[in-house]
Amino acid sequence: MSLSFPDNFIYGAATSSFQIEGSYLIDGAAPSNWYNFSVNNLGIPSEVLNHKGCKHYINWKNDVQLIHELSLNSYRFSVSWPRIIPDKDQLPNSKGLDFYDHLVDELHRFNISPMLTLFHWDLPQHLEDQGGWANPESIEWYLHFVETVADRLADRVPAWITINEPWVFLHLGMIKGIHAPGYKDLKHAASSYKNILMAHSEAVRILRSYNNCSEIGISCNISPFTPETDSREDVEACQRIHDYHNKLFLDAWHKGDIPEIASQVFGKHTPKWNSEELRILQEPIDFIGVNYYTFFRVRYDPHAFLQARSAPPRPPLTDMKWEVYPRGLFKALEWIYNRYHTEIYITENGCAYTYEPSNSGEVTDNRRIDYMYRHLEQCSMAISNGIPLKGYYAWSLLDNFEWTFALNKRFGLIHVDFDTQKRTIKNSGYFYRDFINGKTEKPDHVRSDVINQYEGVVWHDDINFRAI
Ligand code: IFM
């Protein structure tokens, strides 16, 4: 059976500035919170950050050529705030802007439509030092950045994402302390929650004033959750995690009302809102970007945050130890559409597996092909079920810097030798290219290979997405 997609379906791949660019301190750029966190908290030498990895800041032309070779019709990237507005004086850095200006022009030269993410976690360190997102002035800082980028690029960039995965950098960065800025501080997180919400909505209003910004959205990591058992404790724990993970931001924007789970999480620090602020929150967007990787079974745990924790994932697992569960993508899309009624892009979907090039230069990453095919299959089903899914962006174009895992998890369609900068298109990249060009039947040889690899595995398609 082959899968069918509308003719105008968008096939892309995604990256983010801090994960691929390297050369973080040149041409007038300032350190970001992630730069400092990587060096100071994760112990990653600055030499590695600047001179290993993808060095896309240097190799960008070659990378655009590779995007073209993969037949992608769109490319999602993010712009680095500390490159564009590096200093306290808030003046734009023309060299930083030029970099993205040239990138956008080069994409157009190959008919690749840019999708631009404004904030994918790399906040200028000097703003972090002033309280970061917890400072109410962060809204103004961000809007100034948004206007600076839009003034330069809005004439050539049709699709804009204000913020990538707000829940992740709030939860991991300010509550768990394992991402930048590395705080375990509910008060800080609570103020940040409010400012991030407001910043997004104000940014949407600003972007609307640029004629060519025809699509404006937000990207959120969405996971279906299911209780591990039918016990009341597990079901309620699952509901709390679902509300926290999936609804904390989207419900606030959609309904202009702060979901109940916010006060369970932030307690006495829960921010106050006036009616004008709640009105501003409801600024309509054109699409929700769904970042989907895996799903979770949830069990009650009286000692855990929100008295809930995820049960151990079941194989097959990716190198992130994330369970491969393609059906969860359909469930996530269905849930988003039924609740928020917007158009949808999958702005990230992918898997980390390490495969090195063979002597002949081939990268036989069959498990990634299997992962992609199964998820594309769910996309096709979603479209047949009337869900307005407009496009799919694979995460990621290149092997890159995977946050706390540094260069040790490989998500790319393209293998990168982090020492020599050699790029090698993996078999998954060729699979995707052929798929885009109409070869959408199930790759049998890959599937049987994978079945052997996963011998004994039960696919979990029978699990309900119960916590709605
Ligand atoms: O690499 C990240 C990306 O920056 C945000 N979404 C999840 C990806 C895989 O962990």
User: What string of DSSP letters covers 351-393?
Assistant: --------TTS----HHHHHHHHHHHHHHHHHHHTT--EEEEE
What pTM was computed for the model?
0.96
- 162 CA distance to ligand 1 middle (Å): 16
Neighbouring C-beta atoms of residue 405, cutoff 10 Å: 13
**Domains (range + CATH), the chain:** 10-467 (3.20.20.80)
pLDDT at 462 over 50: no
Residues 6+ apart with CB under 8 A from 344: 287, 288, 289, 290, 333, 336, 337, 387, 388, 389, 390
Q: Is 165 a catalytic residue?
A: yes
pLDDT at 170 over 70: yes
- 165 CA distance to ligand 1 middle (Å): 9
Q: What does the alpha-carbon distance between residue 179 and residue 176 come to, in Å, rounded to a whole number?
A: 8
Q: With H, G, I as helix, E, B as strand and everything else as coil, classify residue 188.
A: helix
- 402 CA distance to ligand 1 middle (Å): 7
- 94 CA to centre of own chain: 27
State mean pLDDT over 108-126.
Answer: 98
- The residue whose CA is least distant from atom 4 of ligand 1 is 16
> How many alpha carbons lie under 13 Å from residue 458 in its C-beta half-sphere?
6
> Considering the chain, what is the average pLDDT of its residues?
94
Q: What does the alpha-carbon distance between residue 253 and residue 234 come to, in Å, rounded to a whole number?
A: 28
State mean pLDDT over 434-455.
Answer: 69
Contact at 8 Å (CB) between 326 and 262? Answer: no
State mean pLDDT over 331-349.
Answer: 97
Helices (H), 418-460: 427-436, 444-453
The per-residue pLDDT for range 5-24, each reduced to its tens digit, is 999 999 999 999 999 999 99
Contact at 8 Å (CB) between 161 and 217? Answer: yes
Q: Which pair of tokens denotes residue 412?
A: 């790319």
Contact at 8 Å (CB) between 86 and 29? Answer: yes
- 399 CA to centre of own chain: 15
Which has the minimum average pLDDT: 328-332, 427-431, 454-458?
454-458
Contact at 8 Å (CB) between 34 and 180? Answer: yes
pLDDT at 430 over 60: yes
- 268 CA distance to ligand 1 middle (Å): 31
The per-residue pLDDT for range 182-236, each reduced to its tens digit, is 999 999 999 999 999 999 999 999 999 999 888 999 999 999 999 999 999 999 9
Give the confidence band of 460 by pLDDT, cuts at 50, 70, 90: very low
Q: Write down the pLDDT at residue 250.
A: 98
Q: Which of 21, 106, 348, 377 is catalytic?
A: 348
Looking at the CA of residue 120, tell me the nearest atom of ligand 1.
Answer: 4
- 9 CA distance to ligand 1 middle (Å): 23
Pairing of strands 423-425, 414-416: antiparallel
Looking at the CA of residue 348, tell me the nearest atom of ligand 1.
Answer: 6
Give the confidence band of 1 by pLDDT, cuts at 50, 70, 90: confident
**CA distance readout (Å), 448 to 19, 352, 442:** 34, 20, 11
Q: Write down the pLDDT at residue 15.
A: 99
Q: What radius of gyration, in Å, describes the C-alpha atoms of the chain?
A: 21
**CA distance readout (Å), 320 to 214, 294, 351, 410:** 35, 10, 8, 10
Percent of the residues in the chain that have a pLDDT greater than 70, as a whole number: 95
Cβ < 6 A, ligand 1 pocket: 16, 19, 165, 291, 348, 395, 402
Q: Which of 106, 165, 228, 334 is catalytic?
A: 165
Looking at the CA of residue 352, tell me the nearest atom of ligand 1.
Answer: 9
The per-residue pLDDT for range 236-268, each reduced to its tens digit, is 999 999 999 999 999 999 999 999 999 999 999
- The residue whose CA is least distant from atom 1 of ligand 1 is 402
- The residue whose CA is least distant from atom 9 of ligand 1 is 402
DSSP character for 124?
B
